Structure formats: C-alpha cells, structure tokens
Amino acid sequence: MKTVYIHENQLATAGELLANGGLVAFPTETVYGLGADARSDEAIRCIFEAKGRPTDNPLIVHVASFEQIYPLVLDVTAATKRLMVRFWPGPITLVFPKSKLVSNVVTAGMDTVAIRIPSHPWAHAILKHAQIPVAAPSANRSGSPSATTWQAVQQDLDQRIDAIVCGPPTDIGLESTVVDATGEHPRILRPGKITWEELVKVCPSIIPYSGHVDLENAVLNSPGLRHRHYQPRAHVTLVHGHLPGVNQEAWFIGLNKSSGTDSCSRCLYCDSVEDYSARLFDFFRQADDAGVRTIFCEEVNESGIGVALMDRLRRASQS
Ligand code: AMP
Ligand code: MG
C-alpha cells in the first residue's frame, strides 16, 4: 500500500479518507493517532493489523463535538458530565456504556467505550471534515514508544496505512489521562497530562491511579495496561542521583546533572517535567536509530504530570 503524505492545506482530504474507510495518522495534542471509522468492523481490523496490536486492547474513539457523543453511549453519569464540561476539548479520555453504533472490535468486546474530544486544531479540523467517530490508538507499531512526530509515524507505518498528516511535533508527548466515571467512584485508569490534583477538584471521590504496574489485574479495568508498552530496543534503566559504573556507550535523559552522566555519550537535560515528558519518546527513538544499547532515565517526583511520566518510564524499563 502506498502511503500518501498530507499537509496543512489538505486536512479536508484526511477527513474524506477517514469517512471512506481509510487509515489516516494525524497529530493530536498528546501523541500522533492512527484513525479509522469507529463504526466499521473492517476499518478497525485494519488498525489492529497495521499496528500489530493485540485484539483484546480496546481503542479510544475521537470526536469533534459533544453532540456526536450521545449516539455512541447509553448513559452519561453526573460525574462524567462534569469532567466533559471542565476538560474537553483536551487530553482526557472518558469511559461510557457503549451503544450498538460503536464496533465491538473497537471496544475489544467490552460493553464500555472510551471517548475523547482532542483540542489540537489539526485533529479538530480533520474530525470535523470526517463527520464520523474516529477510533485512534497511538500511531506506532504495538509495543514501541508512541509517535510524537510524523517522521516517527513514517518509520513505523509507512506502506501500512493510507495517509500520514505531516503536522508539528506533539506538545504533551504522553498519551491522554483515562478516567472511568461510570460507577459510584470515578477512577483514574491511566495517568496523563490532566493530573489527579486537577481531577479531584471536579470529582472529590476520584480514586487515584494505583501507581504500580500490575499486569495481572490491569485487565479488569483497562486491558491496554496489561500489554508491554513504550519500550525502545535499548535497555532502559531508571536512576536517581547517580549512574552505576562508566557508561561511554550509554545515553542519559533527565532534569539534573547526576554523578556519572559525564561518561555518557549523550545527555539531554530537560527544563521541567513537562519538557521531559514531551521529549522522552523521541529520545528513545533517536537512541534506537543510533544503535545505543543503554538509556539511563532520571526518576522524577510522583506528583502532577510526574505520575504519568514515571508510569511510562517504569513500563519502558520492564524487562
Ligand atoms: P492507546 O490508544 O494506544 O493510547 O490505548 C488506549 C488505552 O485506552 C488503553 O490503555 C486501553 O486499555 C484504554 N481503553 C480503551 N477503551 C477502554 C474502555 N472501554 N475501558 C477502559 N479502558 C479503555
Ligand atoms: Mg498506544
């Protein structure tokens, strides 16, 4: 399959391709997404195939407006409504009981559907042109770091999908926060840019992200968390304060100069936890392109977006 490359003045074309059953990668404020018609079993199966994604890992459905949501869901709880009003459009995904309109392939057979209205102007324009609900997981091969640039999408999915929208690098660089507010106690299923500190102001009883990687039990709440994720080919080691040994072949990313970083062949010091989050996945990909064997990642405090960054770092470092 020949992949078409789409530019800013052709976003209507991207929308049309999606509406006609095509697979199109496009930028959002979190990471690049790989979109297809959420009502079509056939189009959705193509997403799983292009990514090599396990079919028990459900996808997030993206829409441009509140009105588009009601046909897709059976109910909107009061807590969910408050979250929609406060945080959409934006980097948070909410879980709803699904209607028949949503393909069972999207939800991996679950009776709930995860939905998001992205705030990125390009994503918004494409969804508006498409006029359909668009299921869009991260636009990378399954297991690899998410794509934060169109070149990363090209590297993973060229010749496997219909089109790639060549937008700017993504701002946030980590995937959306996922919240399930269908039950009595809203719960954070995946940490992201919208933090517990912000969510608790809207939902005082919200259950924080459990904070540890529990591959066995993750399936109960959010199947995607059970799978390997975010891993470069290089071995990732988390460090705090100092690096073990002499590491001439290794790369380092973090906030602070630590003892031992001098011996690394490349060091990337980030200005803030937000900056670190935005640059992490691209750094992983650059390290793989350079054939680096070891990446040291400095741990950060687990508050604010630090919870999300530490979650991704732990998953990347799992052997
Ligand atoms: P990705 O699109 O690759 O960022 O992954 C989507 C994430 O959303 C995965 O962690 C999924 O498990 C999660 N997800 C999708 N649908 C649901 C749902 N209905 N209930 C809970 N989590 C979901
Ligand atoms: Mg993903």
Q: Are residues 184 and 247 in the same domain?
A: no
Q: Are residues 39 and 146 in the same domain?
A: yes
pLDDT confidence band for 223 (50 / 70 / 90): low
Q: Are residues 198 and 242 in the same domain?
A: no
Distance 276 CA to ligand 1 centre (A): 24
215 closest CA partner among 306, 315, 112: 315
Q: Are residues 135 and 272 in the same domain?
A: no
Spatial CB neighbours of 159, under 8 Å, sequence gap ≥ 6: 1, 2, 3
Q: What is the pLDDT of residue 26?
A: 98
Q: Which tens digit of pLDDT belongs to each residue from 36-71? A: 999 999 999 999 999 999 999 999 999 999 999 999
113 CA: nearest ligand 1 atom: 19
Asked if pLDDT for residue 209 goes beyond 70, the answer is yes
DSSP-assigned letters across all residues of 243-281: -SS--TT-EEEESS--BTGGGSSEEEE-SSHHHHHHHHH
Q: Which tens digit of pLDDT belongs to each residue from 136-154? A: 999 999 989 999 999 999 9
Asked if pLDDT for residue 131 goes beyond 80, the answer is yes
Q: What is the pLDDT of residue 224?
A: 63
Residue 277 belongs to domain spanning: 235-317
Residue 210 in domain = no
Q: Are residues 256 and 117 in the same domain?
A: no
Residue 225 in domain = no
Q: Name the domain count of the chain.
A: 2
Q: Are residues 137 and 178 in the same domain?
A: yes
Asked if pLDDT for residue 219 goes beyond 50, the answer is no
Regarding the beta carbon of 156 and ligand 1, being less than 6 Å apart is answered no
265 is written with which tokens?
A: 């062949």
Residue 214 in domain = no
Q: Are residues 154 and 294 in the same domain?
A: no
The pTM of the whole model exceeds 0.85: yes
Q: Which tens digit of pLDDT belongs to each residue from 260-291? A: 888 899 999 999 999 999 999 999 999 999 99
Q: Are residues 56 and 194 in the same domain?
A: yes
- What residues does 134 pair with on adjacent strands? 37, 62
Nearest CA to ligand 1 atom 23: 222
Nearest CA to ligand 1 atom 12: 224
Residue 226 in domain = no
Percent of all residues in the chain with a pLDDT value above 90, rounded to a whole number: 86
**Looking at residue 254, which CATH number applies to its domain?**
3.40.50.11030
Average pLDDT over residues 112-122: 98
Nearest ligand atom owner, CA of 109: 1
Q: Are residues 177 and 52 in the same domain?
A: yes
138 touches 32 (CB < 8 A): yes
- Output phi, psi for 308, to 5 deg: -70, -45
**Looking at residue 35, which CATH number applies to its domain?**
3.90.870.10
Q: Are residues 241 and 302 in the same domain?
A: yes
- What residues does 73 pair with on adjacent strands? 98
Residue 129 in domain = yes
Mean pLDDT of the chain: 93
Asked if pLDDT for residue 315 goes beyond 90, the answer is yes
Residue 211 in domain = no
Asked if pLDDT for residue 217 goes beyond 60, the answer is no
Q: Are residues 45 and 175 in the same domain?
A: yes
